[in-house]
Amino acid sequence: MEVISPAAHPLNGSPAAFYFPSRPAASLKALLDSNSSANGDGYLAGPACAVGESRTEGSRLYRLPPTARQNKVLPQDLKTPDSHVERDPRLIRLTGVHPFNVEAPLSDLYDEGFLTTKDLHYVRNHGPVPLVRDDQVLDWEFSVEGMVERPVKMTLRQLIRDYEQVTYPITLVCAGNRRKEQNVVRKTNGFSWGAAGVSTSLWTGVTLGDLLARVVPRRGARYVCFEGADKLPNGYYGTSVKLNWAVDPNRGIMVAHKMNGEVLHPDHGKPLRIVIPGQIGGRSVKWLKRIVVTSAPSDNWYHIYDNRVLPTMISPEASAHLPDTWKDERYAIYDLNTNSATCYPAHDERISLADSLETYAFRGYAYAGGGKRVTRVEVTLDQGRTWTLANITYPEDEYRLAPENEVLFGGRLDIAWREACFCWCFWDLEIPITQLREARDVMIRAMDDSMMVQPRDMYWSVLGMMNNPWYRVVIHNTAGSLRFEHPTQPAMMPGGWMERVKREGGNITNGFWGEKVPGEEAATIHEPPAKEICMLNEKVTRQISLEELRSHDGEESPWFVLNGQVYDGTGFLGEHPGGAASIFGAAGQDVTEEFMTIHSENAKGMMSKHHIGTLDKQSLALLALAGSEPVPANSELRPVFLQSKVWTKATLSAKKKISSDTKIFTFTLDHDSQTIGLPVGQHLMMRLRDPASQEAIIRAYTPISETTDVGKLHVLVKIYFDTPAGKGGRMTQALDGLAMGQSVEFKGPIGKFEYLGRGLCAINGRERRVRRFVMVCAGSGITPILQVLRAVMKDDADRTTCIVLDGNRVEEDILCRDELEAMAARRPDKCRLLYTLSKPDASWRGLKGRVDHALFEREVGGPPRSDEGGAMVLVCGPDSMVKAVNQIFASLGWRDEDLVFF
């Protein structure tokens, strides 16, 4: 037998081409992988290929993988937990720098052919990649346990030595493939995959059926659960499949340790993973540590709250309160649905009409799930009125022609008998240019051997999974050329007819791809295009380097970056609600995520007057690296928890319910002696990320922790639930849904006010003395008031007096009441405490009504005379109350500088 280097063969890049070997078989000896004993057995020397001796003259040979690239650790990964992982720079990052979720450019993926190298294979990582050194690979240990007669714990070395090895070509597909299209229609809880969340490789390992036959499942066992070594906020990643699938040879489920003849790449599960043909990639657990046979599906958090298609009428907000719906196995995704995409023409590709081309070859991929074969791909140029059959090529079938007992990469290539299809196929169709000139679009759909065909319209769901409507490429016939426009581009990359149509006000859910239809009504899930907020000064053309940006990272003239543009924060140091500290904390940083998440449309509209230039491309890349820098590895030694320029994590360790809608969340810091680092009267920012979409939710809170507390952080949160009248609080409901052990990120301190003690305050760094505080609050607005009140009351030498006016709806809404009343009772000469309720019951004996003009005029009055010493009003509560209080105190003669709003 002869074998040619795949990279050298002229047809290897073409998915439709077969090639014939031409290199002497003797040269294979150096590539043989015996898979025998540990260390020195050549296991890590791959790739290796051993083939059988017999071969019929002129028979076709299956193709081998393209030559992989020699990659290196990329600069953007150096300061992340994945600093040990080498990666291809062509991959498109879908969730920022970390965790690593990527797809290849669609054209590059197609050009690589039927088999995908480790370099361009899509990656779905929920967190850091476990570090496994080469000398640890064969000693990797995993267990098979649960409802079995003979539970076992074994190493990878034993798995290779004691079990027959097989090699199968298998396509893996992320359930979120093509999700960006759903996110354009309406934001899901998932990040934006394009159409390249699909890849194919040769996988070598042991069939799961062989492994389970040794341990003997017990009567009543129905499921097989898998758990990886990737520790995540909600535990280790895990999922399950049905036991009868696991033992079915036609399903081809394997425990794999090689990918294209090489040890698994770290991003793909080094050293051991499950590979499940025909099912969504989320079931193929990487970094495998446990196989557990059970009577019920996995109770792993990621099995329940990921990889599901919930009914289309369930919104992301409603889904947070439907635990029984999430646990309903009817909504769990296993087998892939039939899908296809157009790869050529590429997005924004142009064809000159002046050229002599008569046809253009449309090309793409298709796949089906559950072992089904794609039996047809159809193309329409008139939006479905007529269809043309495309040509289909099945490279997987080449491997069925291999001789008996063929060995590939140390595993028996035994798929000749199997009818099930595990891989994608490729389609092509030559379309006359004359027809393309007359068409508005070209659409495709695929059908499998059960006659299931891709639907015309999208089935939107909360996680944005299994999206498979007809794939539409729009044709623009302008300026003597044809330009092709795909539906979307992956991640945050702009482009695609769906975004364009939505931006122009079209309804992309009307069944006519946004085209105006007489009498059309807006679709239920259609959202009007967002108002464009211009944050740029179009006259500014200055290019700014990272060095120049960093020269303004102090308190003199703080510059910061939003969406690649540089802004000078000097102009609003005194006006910013978060105080100058928040601007100084942003100086020299890319704070796009924080700014866009927190600030109002009005605030964004004000930014153009502070725009001073554009960060050059090289500096923008370098800044991204710096922005990904985590807390240093020795963070447990830091005496202070909060950092002004870096997000730091704390772990949720307790929840205490103190009323029907209010809880105290306790977070454990890095070590028991670590202080919080929050000055009195200031606050911090909390950031949560959706585990699927990685979208940030950021809000500011003042903890109720004592300033002297160490090791713990206590945050009181009033939870605003959804009601029939409207949506509740996104952040508060997300906090309420946190599981014990899950992490939250914190940053700070921020705020323009600080109480330094004994009547001395600082506002934006300027000191001022007061003799009296008027403290106005409602609900959870008590938290910053409490911090200042504590500082005054606990220092007997502090002669500052305080009046606290706490307005609430009902008596249960009065928060921190015991502590407030204890302080007022101990020093009535320093503290006067007044509650007023707007909807009291008959037993209430205190003040009644809202905090209004009459209350303040009676209890507070106008500002003090100059000979009485200074006074200051501190206010925290709902927006409506804050606005009313501001107007009332202004009418009573108080100056703006005497009012501080938290």
Q: Give the span between the Cα atoms of 77 and 98, in whole angstroms.
A: 8
Contact 473, 441 (CB under 8 A): yes
Percent of the chain residues past pLDDT 70, beyond the cut: 85
Helix (H) or strand (E) holding 443: strand 441-448
758-901: CATH number: 3.40.50.80
Taking residues 184-208, what's their average pLDDT?
Answer: 95
Per-residue pLDDT reduced to its tens digit, 21-35: 322 222 323 333 444
Angle between helices 817-826 and 782-794 (to 10 degrees): 30
Question: Looking up tokens 């000078």, which residue turns up?
Answer: 568
Share of the chain above pLDDT 90, in %: 56
Q: Any idea of the CA torsion for 431, 436, 439, 442, to the nearest 10 degrees?
A: 50
What pLDDT shows up at residue 836?
92
Query: Which tokens hold the place of 744?
Result: 């939250």
The stretch 69-75 carries a mean pLDDT of: 94
Q: Which residue would you say has higher pLDDT here, 354 or 337?
A: 337
- Closest by CA position to 743, among listed 663, 672, 658, 665: 665
The pLDDT-based confidence of 620 (bands split at 50, 70, 90) is: confident
Tokens of 567: 């802004």
Query: Distance (Å, rounded) from C-alpha 395 to C-alpha 423?
Result: 8
The candidate with the shortest Cα–Cα distance to 566, out of 597, 542, 598, is 542
- Enumerate the active-site residues: 174, 306-307
User: Please, what is the Cα angle at 242 between 152 and 742, to 5 degrees?
Assistant: 75
Which residues make Cβ contacts (< 8 Å) with residue 507, sequence separation at least 6? 514, 520, 522, 523, 526
Which residue type, as a one-letter code, is found at position 862? G
- Tokens read off for 438: 């007359």
Cross-strand partners of 19? 61
Give the per-residue pLDDT at 820. Answer: 92
Q: Are 302 and 234 in contact (CB under 8 A)?
A: yes
Alpha carbons within 13 angstroms on the beta-carbon side of residue 345 total 25
- Separation between Cα atoms, residue 518 and residue 515, nearest integer Å: 10
Question: How high is the pLDDT of residue 573?
Answer: 61
Contact 430, 360 (CB under 8 A): yes
Cis bond before residue 395 (omega within 30° of 0): no
**Is the pLDDT score of 716 beyond 80?**
yes
At residue 878, the pLDDT reads 84
pLDDT 10s digits, 765-805: 789 899 999 999 988 889 999 999 999 999 999 999 999 99
Buried b (16+ CB within 10 A) or exposed e, 845-870: eebeebbeeebbeeebeebeeeeeee
Tell me the helix, strand and coil percentages in the chain, rounded to 5.
20, 30, 50
Q: Residue 200 — pLDDT band, cuts 50, 70, 90?
A: very high
Q: 223 near 210, Cβ under 8 Å?
A: no
Instruction: Select from 886, 902, 661 the least CA-distant residue to 789.
Output: 902
Length of the chain: 902
Which stretch of DSSP H or E encloses residue 648?
strand 648-659
What does the alpha-carbon distance between residue 135 and residue 426 come to, in Å, rounded to a whole number? Answer: 40
pLDDT surpasses 70 at 578:
no
Every domain of the chain and the residues it spans: 134-279+287-298, 543-627, 635-750, 758-901
Q: CA dist 537 to 235, 596, 609, 611, 620, Å?
A: 47, 18, 7, 6, 19
> What is the distance of C-alpha 336 from the center of its chain?
22
Q: Measuring CA to CA, how many Å separate 702 from each of 165, 238, 297, 527, 824?
A: 59, 36, 41, 35, 21
C-alpha–C-alpha distance, residues 779 and 701, integer Å: 13
Check if CATH label 3.30.2320.20 holds for domain 543-627. Answer: no
Q: What is the mean pLDDT of residues 852-857?
A: 88
The annotation status of 174 as a binding-site residue, yes or no, is yes
Nearest-10 Cα torsion for 721, 722, 724, 725: 80
pLDDT band at 863 (very low <50, low <70, confident <90, very high): confident
For residue 390, which amino acid is it? A
> In the prediction, which pLDDT does 585 show?
63
By CB neighbour count within 10 A (0-12 exposed, 13-18 middle, 19+ buried), where does 829 fall?
exposed
Is 816 in contact with 787 (CB distance < 8 Å)?
no
In terms of average pLDDT, the best of 219-228, 505-514, 602-611, 806-815 is: 219-228
Query: 831 - beta bridge partners?
Result: 802
- Bridge partners of residue 231, in order along the sequence: 236
Does residue 396 surpass a pLDDT of 90?
yes
* Sheet strands side by side (includes 871-876): 847-848, 831-837, 801-808, 772-778, 871-876, 899-901
Identity at 616, one-letter amino acid code: D
Find the Cα–Cα–Cα–Cα dihedral 93, 94, 98, 103, rounded to 10°.
-50
- Quick count: other Cβ atoms within 10 Å of Cβ 836? 20
Mean pLDDT, range 456-476, rounded to an integer: 96
- 47: cis peptide before it, omega within 30°? yes
- Look over the chain and give the mean of its residue pLDDT values, rounded to a whole number: 85
Tell me how far apart the alpha carbons of residues 342 and 835 are, in angstroms, rounded to a whole number.
Answer: 66
Torsion angle of the four alpha carbons 567, 573, 574, 578, in this order, in degrees rounded to the nearest 10: 100
Map residue 824 onto helix, strand or coil: helix
- Contact call for residues 79 and 71 (beta carbons, < 8 A): no
Judged by average pLDDT, the poorest of 439-448, 561-570, 635-644 is 635-644
pLDDT-based confidence at residue 879 (cuts at 50, 70, 90): confident
The two tokens of residue 93 are 């990052």
Quick one: tokens of 501? 């149509």
Strand runs (DSSP E) across 449-591, as ranges? 471-478, 481-485, 543-544, 559-562, 565-568
Cβ neighbours of 171 (radius 10 Å): 25
Q: 538 or 108, which is more confident?
A: 108
- The model's confidence at residue 43, banded by pLDDT at 50, 70 and 90, is low
At 785, the amino acid letter reads: I
**Nearest residue to 288 via CA among 133, 141, 411:** 141
Question: What number is the average pLDDT over the span 354-381?
Answer: 96
In CATH, 134-279+287-298 is 3.90.420.10: yes
- Give CATH superfamily name and number for 635-750: Translation factors (2.40.30.10)
**What is the three-state SS of 764-813?**
CCEEEECCEEEEEEEHHHHHHHHHHHHHHHHCCCCCCEEEEEEEECCHHH
Interval 223-239 mean pLDDT = 92
Q: E strand or H helix at 663, and its extent?
A: strand 662-668
Report yes or no: 778 and 851 within 8 Å, Cβ to Cβ: yes
Q: What residues contact residue 703 under an 8 Å CB cut-off, 6+ apart?
A: 676, 678, 684, 713, 714, 715, 716, 783
If pLDDT is split at 50, 70 and 90, which confidence band does 695 have? low
pLDDT tens digits along 514-537: 887 655 554 444 444 445 567 788
3 state SS for 463-488:
CCCCCCCCEEEEEEEECCEEEEECCC
Beta bridge pairs of residue 363: 344, 428
Question: In 512-634, where do the E strands start and end?
Answer: 543-544, 559-562, 565-568, 611-615
